[in-house]
């Protein structure tokens, strides 16, 4: 087995903790999208180019959620809220430190609003043709999410609204190339952000 990249070595697993310095400008971004779109690969590559830690939100799912998805059963919102709150807590903690990149599906606006209750976060939405995603899902090994759940995720996916801080990228390049494009967008996004790091108010529906 080849040596893992520095990004994967830097990944924070759920049980890991470390002391960090306070930095009000800490970058907080979620790489979002459906299963098999390459969220973890791009988050890891982005972690390298930004020198910021990253986590895979799949590692934060409670065991009942993993069992459910492994059986091909889509999660309900009540399954997701505690998980999203845990992801949000990691973002909130990182906002007081060096920042964090998170690979997380964040499929619906309400899920992203839930994360924004915890921290001011930008979203990088990865998207691609359904046939490409199906092929990737079929070829992927070692993941609890079966390919059969791709269609259910596509059916509930809500692209970023105009009032959400974020950007969408097609998965038509290698992860490192996408990460470099994302880095350039983040640099411009940082210049547009207001001085306050208060979380954006979620839309009430």
- Taking 60 as the threshold, does the pLDDT of residue 6 lie above it? no
Q: How confident is the model at residue 180 (pLDDT cuts 50, 70, 90)?
A: very high
Q: What is the CATH number of the domain that holds 117?
A: 3.40.50.300
Q: Is residue 95 part of a domain?
A: yes
Per cent of the chain over pLDDT 70 is 80
- Show the tokens assigned to 62: 């409670």
Per cent of the chain over pLDDT 90 is 71
Chain segment 36-52, per-residue pLDDT in tens:
999 999 999 999 999 99
Q: How confident is the model at residue 191 (pLDDT cuts 50, 70, 90)?
A: low
Q: How confident is the model at residue 81 (pLDDT cuts 50, 70, 90)?
A: very high
Higher pLDDT, 146 or 83: 83
CA angle (29, 105, 42) in 5-degree steps = 55
Q: How confident is the model at residue 190 (pLDDT cuts 50, 70, 90)?
A: confident
Question: How much is the mean pLDDT over the chain?
Answer: 84
Q: Is residue 43 part of a domain?
A: yes
Number of structural domains in the chain = 1
- Show the tokens assigned to 198: 């208060």
Q: Is residue 204 part of a domain?
A: no
Q: Is residue 203 part of a domain?
A: no
CA angle (128, 8, 115) in 5-degree steps = 60
Q: Is residue 199 part of a domain?
A: no
- The pLDDT, as a whole number, for residue 192 is 59
Q: Is residue 19 part of a domain?
A: no
The residue to which tokens 């690969």 are assigned: 41
Closest by Cα among 164, 145, 128 to 68: 145
CA angle (135, 137, 142) in 5-degree steps = 135
Range of the domain at 180: 6-12+24-192
Residues 178, 181, 186, 188, Cα dihedral to 10°: -160
Q: How confident is the model at residue 147 (pLDDT cuts 50, 70, 90)?
A: confident
Higher pLDDT, 188 or 141: 188
- The pLDDT, as a whole number, for residue 93 is 96
Q: Is residue 201 part of a domain?
A: no
- The pLDDT, as a whole number, for residue 5 is 41
- Taking 60 as the threshold, does the pLDDT of residue 61 lie above it? yes
Q: Is residue 182 part of a domain?
A: yes
Say what angle helices 39-50 and 175-192 make with each other, to 10 degrees.
60
Sheet-wide strand order for 28-32: 54-56, 100-103, 28-32, 122-127, 166-170
Chain segment 149-171, per-residue pLDDT in tens:
899 999 999 999 999 999 999 99
């Amino acid at each position: 087995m080849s040596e893992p990249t520095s990004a994967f070595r830097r990944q924070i697993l759920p049980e890991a903790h470390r002391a960090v310095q306070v930095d009000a400008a800490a970058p907080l971004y979620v790489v979002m999208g459906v299963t098999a779109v390459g969220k973890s690969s791009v988050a890891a590559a982005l972690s390298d180019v930004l020198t910021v830690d990253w986590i895979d939100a799949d590692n934060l799912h409670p065991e009942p959620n993993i069992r459910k998805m492994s059986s091909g059963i889509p999660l309900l919102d009540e399954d997701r809220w505690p998980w999203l709150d845990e992801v949000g807590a990691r973002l909130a903690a990182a906002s007081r430190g060096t920042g964090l990149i998170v690979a997380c599906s964040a499929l619906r606006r309400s899920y992203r609003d839930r994360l924004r209750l915890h921290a001011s976060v930008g979203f990088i939405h990865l998207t691609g043709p359904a046939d490409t995603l199906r092929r990737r899902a079929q070829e992927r090994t070692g993941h609890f999410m079966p390919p059969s759940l791709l269609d259910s995720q596509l059916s509930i996916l809500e692209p970023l609204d105009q009032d959400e801080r974020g950007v969408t990228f097609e998965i038509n390049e290698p992860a490192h190339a996408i990460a470099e494009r994302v880095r350039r967008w983040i640099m411009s996004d940082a210049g547009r952000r207001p001085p306050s790091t208060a979380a954006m108010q979620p839309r009430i529906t």
